[in-house]
């Protein structure tokens, strides 16, 4: 396993990390989830990402149970706060001081740990003063409940504003967690340059585009049984826009010879592509079967040739999404509860 520094900090994380969005507590039950976590550990993955909103707190509980008994100092555990949890009361979401403090206490209990390594604002909150949010994060850090602070899907301007406050408060703001893959490249124009300037790393999710970049979704064919696109209880809603795009699916098939030339599976090629970006500290991968986790981890440390990188660009062509305004649109424009 390759290890990289998280932002301009001294914390190292595994270049491939394990995340349990739309799996633990919904798509994958506890016993199978524990096997996936075991496979991640066996593959050298030390970094685990979750959020309180995943399966309405169940994902954190399952991850905490699966990691119980592991040497805590050898793990980097990340979680997030923002989206509604519990019954969805008026203060059960957002980045207010109240919700942040109540959420970190709940997350620590579910994860069975005294602290998390990274506590992340899951989205930007347009309805809470940024000063209130950052002061609450500073409290969490000073109480020893989180070692570092990060965010998810913040714009370049939001990163700069949050980082300036973090500097004033003397707390380590080290990361941003955006969607990033060979298809979805919206962070490259503005977010990555700002992050390099500020000393913030990307902790990226969906490096395989929720399975689309594995090539298993073929144009003109029904999604494979048991795939995320057939999981009506959870994953299908997140992926339907991608799997219904016939041109995109056809272009993805053109990646197969590139992967074969590198001695990689298409999934490994997708993860390796993300890791070619110097601003990416770790690529969060998931899976419903242990063998998927093991295979994804093997992409760490793979250096893709210039010819392969160019070939990926040419294969995906007009299917590549680069509009930087999409980052701002990821934050809800109204209160969720």
Q: Which residues are catalytic?
A: 54
Query: Half-sphere exposure of residue 95, counting CA atoms within 13 Å on the CB side?
Result: 28
111-114 long-range contacts (CB < 8 A, ≥24 apart) are 111/50, 111/60, 111/63, 111/64, 111/67, 111/77, 111/79, 112/64, 112/65, 112/67, 112/68, 113/64, 113/72, 113/77, 114/144, 114/145
Determine the 3-state secondary structure of 112 from DSSP. Answer: coil
Q: Is residue 124 within a helix (H) or strand (E), and if so which, with residue range?
A: none
Closest CA to 175 of 159, 187, 158, 155: 159
Query: Mind spelling out the 3-state secondary structure of 206-222?
Result: CCCHHHHHHCCCCCCCC
Query: Half-sphere exposure of residue 92, counting CA atoms within 13 Å on the CB side?
Result: 13
Beta-carbon contacts of 211 under 8 Å, excluding residues fewer than 6 positions away, are 217, 227, 228, 229, 239
* Distance (Å, whole) CA 84 – CA 99: 10
List 241's β-bridge partners, or say none.
none
Q: What size, in residues, is the chain?
A: 337
């Amino acid at each position: 396993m390759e290890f990289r520094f998280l932002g301009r900090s001294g914390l190292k994380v595994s270049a491939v990390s394990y995340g349990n969005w739309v799996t633990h507590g919904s798509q994958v039950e506890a016993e199978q989830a524990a096997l996936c976590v075991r496979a991640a550990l066996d593959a050298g993955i030390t970094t685990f990402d979750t959020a309180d909103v995943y399966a309405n707190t169940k994902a954190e509980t399952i991850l905490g149970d699966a990691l119980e008994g592991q040497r805590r100092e050898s793990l980097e555990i990340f979680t997030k706060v923002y989206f509604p949890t519990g019954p969805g009361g008026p203060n059960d979401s957002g980045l207010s001081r109240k919700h942040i403090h109540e959420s970190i206490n709940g997350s620590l209990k579910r994860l069975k740990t005294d602290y998390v390594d990274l506590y992340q604002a899951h989205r930007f909150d347009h309805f809470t003063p940024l000063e209130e949010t950052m002061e609450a994060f500073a409290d969490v850090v000073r109480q020893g409940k989180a070692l570092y602070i990060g965010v998810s899907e913040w714009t370049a301007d939001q990163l700069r504003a949050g980082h300036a406050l973090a500097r004033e408060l003397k707390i380590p703001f080290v990361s941003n967690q955006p969607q990033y893959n060979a298809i979805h490249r919206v962070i490259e124009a503005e977010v990555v340059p700002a992050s390099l300037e500020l000393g913030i790393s990307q902790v990226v999710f969906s490096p395989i585009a929720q399975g689309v970049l594995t090539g298993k979704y073929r144009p003109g064919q029904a999604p494979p049984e048991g795939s995320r696109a057939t999981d009506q209880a959870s994953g299908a809603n997140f992926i339907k826009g991608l799997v219904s795009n016939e041109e995109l699916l056809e272009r993805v098939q053109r990646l197969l010879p590139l992967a074969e030339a590198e001695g990689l599976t298409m999934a490994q090629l997708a993860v390796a592509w993300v890791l070619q970006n110097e601003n990416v500290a770790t690529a969060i991968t998931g899976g419903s079967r242990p063998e998927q986790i093991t295979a994804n981890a093997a992409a760490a440390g793979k250096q893709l040739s210039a010819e392969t990188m160019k070939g990926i660009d040419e294969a995906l062509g007009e299917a590549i999404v680069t509009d930087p305004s999409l980052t701002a649109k990821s934050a809800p424009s109204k209160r969720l509860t």
